[in-house]
Every structure is written in C-alpha cells, then in structure tokens.
Amino acid sequence: MPHFQHDNLNLAYFDEGEPAGEPILLIHGFASNKSVNWVGPGWLKTLGEAGYRVIAIDNRGHGESDKPHDRQAYEPEAMAGDAVALLTHLRIETAHVMGYSMGARISAFMSLAAPDRVRSVVFGGLGIGMVEGLGGWEGIADALRAPSIDVVTEDRPRMFRAFADQTGSDRLALAACIETSRKKLSPEQAGAIKAPALIAVGTKDDIAGSGQELAALMPNATAMDIPGRDHMLAVGDRVFKRGVLEFLAAH
C-alpha cells in the first residue's frame, strides 16, 4: 500500500475505484483500519462500482501507519490534519468525506478546519455523542494495556480488546488514542459544519447517541436510521450503503 508523510509520521492509504470519478475519502473507526472498515464490509466495491474514486487512510496508530504511543498525538484536530494532507498529497481540491465512529469525529473536525475541501460529509456510527460525549468508555485503555484479555471482565472494554487482538493492532498506541481522540464538539461547532451531511446510526447502537439530535444542530444535515443494527454490524449494512449512494448522488 502507498504511504505519504505528514506531521513526521508515515501514513498508509489506498487510492482505488474509478480514477476519473468524484473522489470520496473514507476515515475508519477506532481500533479498525482501512481494510477492515472499508474493504471487508464491501464499501470499496460498492463505491467503486458506482463510479467513485475511493480513497481511504489508515489513521495514525492504526493499520500500516506509524503508531506513536504519545497521547497528544491523537488529538482529533491532528488526525483531521492527516486527512487533509492526504487530499493535498493526491492533488485533490475537494472530496466527499465519510467517517465511521471515531472516523466520523475526525471528519467533523476536518469539516471545521478545512470546509473548502469537504464537498459533503457522512457521519456513520456517531450521533449526538459527538457533542454530549459517550458513556461506557471507562476501562478501555486499561483493557488494551492488560497483559491478557482473560483479566478483562467488563463487556465493552473486553469487546474492544478482542477487536484489537483480532486486527493485530498496537494496543499501546490504541490506548493512547482512546484517551485523547474523544474530544467533544460544542453545539456551536456542530452548527458551524455547513457541508451537506448525512448522519447514519443503527437503531440498536448503544454507543453513538441520536442521529436526529445531532442533525438538528447542523444547518444542512439529514439523519438516517440503520434498522436493527448495533455499532459493529451497521458498518456494512445494505440500507446504510443505499442511503449513502443516494446522498452522494444528490450532492
């Protein structure tokens, strides 16, 4: 996979799909990577077949990108800066942007920092929790640093530890990331995101918070329910894909 340099880090990405198509930049979630979040669930195939140029980054600390263990490296503004730098590296002036979970938060900070680069934005798996905060995340960093998953007893920390082990992640980098990357947007910041936005959340997602409540804060946003899906299973859902394709076609 190709790499580029930004902020003294070596960052991996792919650039696939239709070379002459409208570009869409995909930003994955916490403890995931560009392949797990976008290739396995079929997004690369879906968007490529729809005629888009599909670009996805491995966020710092994830996948094939460099993995600093410094908590300050994972401020969402810094991670959004990586996404903007990738567009610049590829000489892309403006792109559709789609993020899932932590990637949705990064996409929001990107939309604020570089609004001229964001043609439209999809926030998947994260609703009003982007503003109000997310409960139940205590213990995840400790679970990631634990010597074995066998000593992790709480359900959500155990789930993320298992996911990190499954994806072969650098657990110390992820622990640093989870401690810093969950910075909240203020309601005023959410209202300052002017790009057309789609907020898609599973109806069984107990992490994201209400998509409708987040959409109400934004001047040009629509909320979409992903029926019967929780935070993990919503990613590759057909209803989600169909809604995103319709949204992109409209913008």
CATH of the domain at 74: 3.40.50.1820
pTM over 0.75: yes
Whether 83 is in a domain gets the answer: yes
Band (164; pLDDT cuts 50, 70, 90): confident
Domain membership flag for residue 147: no
Residue 136 in this model has a pLDDT that exceeds 70: no
What is the rounded CA–CA span in Å between residue 105 and residue 131?
Answer: 10
For residue 40, the enclosing domain spans 3-131+184-250
- pLDDT of 232 > 70? The answer is yes
> Is 75 contained in some domain?
yes
Residue 198 lies in a domain: yes
What mean pLDDT do residues 28-42 have? Answer: 95
Tell me which residue has tokens 């409960």: 135
Contact residues for 195 (Cβ-Cβ < 8 A; gap 6+): 111, 115, 118, 119, 120, 121, 220
Q: Say if 50 falls within a structural domain.
A: yes
Greater confidence (137 vs 190) lies with: 190
pLDDT (mean) for 70-86: 97
Domain count, the chain: 1
Mean pLDDT for the stretch of residues 188-205: 98
> In this model, does residue 96 exceed pLDDT 70?
yes
Residue 150 lies in a domain: no
Residue type, 73: A
Average pLDDT estimate for 105-116: 98
Q: What average pLDDT does the structure give for the chain?
A: 95
Domain for residue 20, yes or no?
Answer: yes
So what's the pLDDT on residue 135?
67
- Per-residue pLDDT band for 49 (boundaries 50, 70, 90) equals very high
What percentage of residues in the chain have a pLDDT greater than 90? Answer: 88
- Mean pLDDT, residues 183-199: 97
Residue 92 has pLDDT above 80, yes or no: yes
More confident residue, 31 or 130: 130
Task: Look at residue 167 in the predicted model and tell me its pLDDT.
Answer: 81
In a domain, 170, yes or no: no
